[in-house]
Amino acid sequence: MPMKTNPLTITYFIPLLATLFATLPAEAGRVIFISVDGMRPDAVDVLGPEGAPTFHRLRREGAFTSNARTDKVYTITLPNHTCMVTSRGVVGSEGHNWISNGDPKLGQNLHRNRKSYVASMFDVAHDNGFATALYASKSKFSLYDLSFDASMGAEDKTDEDNGRDKIDHVVINEDTSALMTSLLSDLAVKPADLTMLHLRNCDSAGHAEGWILATGTPYMEALRKVDGLLGQLIAGIEASPTLKGDTWIVLTADHGGLTATKGHGESKEHENFSIPFYTWGPGVKAGTDLYSINTSAREDPGKENPAYTQSYQPIRNGDAGNLCLSLLRLPPIPGSTINSAQDLTLGDAP
């Protein structure tokens, strides 16, 4: 005998179920966070759409600024990358306090240096059950593997215990073409939810010959090379049924650089502290200046690099860690001070 259905039950439960499913969070996509070491944003303008088609595509299809900022005090590699992954400034009681720019020595890590645990975007993603990965083109990035491994990573107290090793997969290779091949191979088979990619090309060329913004110089050819690698990455994303339409790119730099000195350590120089910040992916407002859609939370700094105490902050590379987590619908990094409210908006992206 067929079971009878009470019309009142249907009337009651259908709206209830609709409300329930409407309040459930949509499945998070994936984020690829990219640092182009030593990238001056104005170099993209010099190359133009023909010389840098991928960067110009990211501008056309995403939200970006060519006037983001490094840390206030330091314009060198490891301190600024640590700002990115921890969403903290470098110095002070709330800073991550890592000022060294070489390969970590035996026993060195972020927590021992600061004398307290320094959480990262890898912590939050990993502890919430998300897969994490780091692809870096400088050996000094072993700092993050050492700081967040099974021995030094914090105990996971978020729901299910996923262990202390916060970065599931680490690849370090100075050959950026080979590094990209490794990343593309992994994305095709088992992509991480949160991936960090570091590309050294521009920094290496700048230190060798200077940050010379003229056609054919080693620096501009290095940026052209990076543009091609990014083109490969986007092609890989779009060829994957898993990744296409469900992946964000967040791209910035650790510093710019100077033509005359072949360096970038002078933190008061505009060419050193001015960096790009590009975002691309589902819901990102296309062809938009990031400052124009963040007027209530950020302010274009003009030619300055304001102190962290200023009420309206510029967009900084340190925004990246908490932005990546917000795209994954995850909470901010514990102890973070940059974008800790996760109020940097990209349009309709989460």
Query: For residue 4, what pLDDT is reported?
Result: 42
The pair phi, psi for residue 154, each rounded to 5°, is: -70, 155
Comparison of pLDDT for 165 and 3, the residue scoring more: 165
Residues in the chain: 350
Asked if 40 and 274 count as a contact pair (C-beta separation under 8 A), the reply is yes
Count of alpha carbons within 13 Å of 205, Cβ hemisphere only?
24
What domains lie within the chain, and their CATH numbers?
27-327 (3.40.720.10)
Asked if 95 and 309 count as a contact pair (C-beta separation under 8 A), the reply is no
In 3D, which of 209, 211, 213, 222 has the Cα closest to residue 264? 211
Strands (E) in 48-153, as ranges, are: 63-69, 132-136
Query: For residue 164, what pLDDT is reported?
Result: 98
pLDDT tens, residue by residue, 81-97:
999 999 999 999 999 99
Cα-to-chain-centroid distance, residue 61: 18
Average pLDDT over residues 304-310: 97
**Secondary element (H or E) of residue 277:** strand 274-280
Query: For residue 15, what pLDDT is reported?
Result: 41
Query: For residue 9, what pLDDT is reported?
Result: 40
Which residues pair with residue 199 across a beta bridge?
36
Q: Between helices 176-189 and 218-238, what is the axis angle to 10°?
A: 10
Asked if 159 and 129 count as a contact pair (C-beta separation under 8 A), the reply is yes
Query: For residue 28, what pLDDT is reported?
Result: 76
Query: For residue 279, what pLDDT is reported?
Result: 98
Return the residue matching tokens 């860690």.
321
Residue at 49: amino acid letter? P
Q: DSSP assignment of 149-197, as one string?
A: STTTSPP--SSS---S---SEEEE-S-HHHHHHHHHHHHHHS--SEEEE
Query: For residue 192, what pLDDT is reported?
Result: 98
Cα(265)–Cα(256) distance, rounded to whole angstroms?
10
Query: For residue 350, what pLDDT is reported?
Result: 85
Average pLDDT over residues 187-205: 98
* Whether pLDDT at 224 is above 70: yes
Radius of gyration of the chain (CA): 21
Provide the mean pLDDT of the chain: 93
**CA distances to 98, 158, 307, 328 from 268, in Å:** 19, 41, 12, 35
pLDDT tens, residue by residue, 73-82:
999 999 999 9
Query: For residue 5, what pLDDT is reported?
Result: 42
Return the residue matching tokens 């900084």.
316
The pair phi, psi for residue 194, each rounded to 5°, is: -130, 115
pLDDT tens, residue by residue, 231-257:
999 999 999 999 999 999 999 999 999
DSSP, collapsed to helix, strand or coil, labels residue 313 as strand
Asked if 257 and 218 count as a contact pair (C-beta separation under 8 A), the reply is no
Q: Which residues contact 112 (CB under 8 A, 6 or more apart)?
A: none
* Residue 299: how many other CB atoms lie within 10 Å: 16
* Residue 78: how many other CB atoms lie within 10 Å: 22
* Whether pLDDT at 2 is above 80: no
Cα(203)–Cα(112) distance, rounded to whole angstroms?
28
Query: For residue 27, what pLDDT is reported?
Result: 60
CA torsion angle for 132, 136, 138, 142 (degrees, to 10)? Answer: 10
Q: Which residues of 243-260 are buried (b: 16+ CB within 10 A; e: fewer)?
A: beeebbbbbbbbbbbbbe
Asked if 229 and 35 count as a contact pair (C-beta separation under 8 A), the reply is no
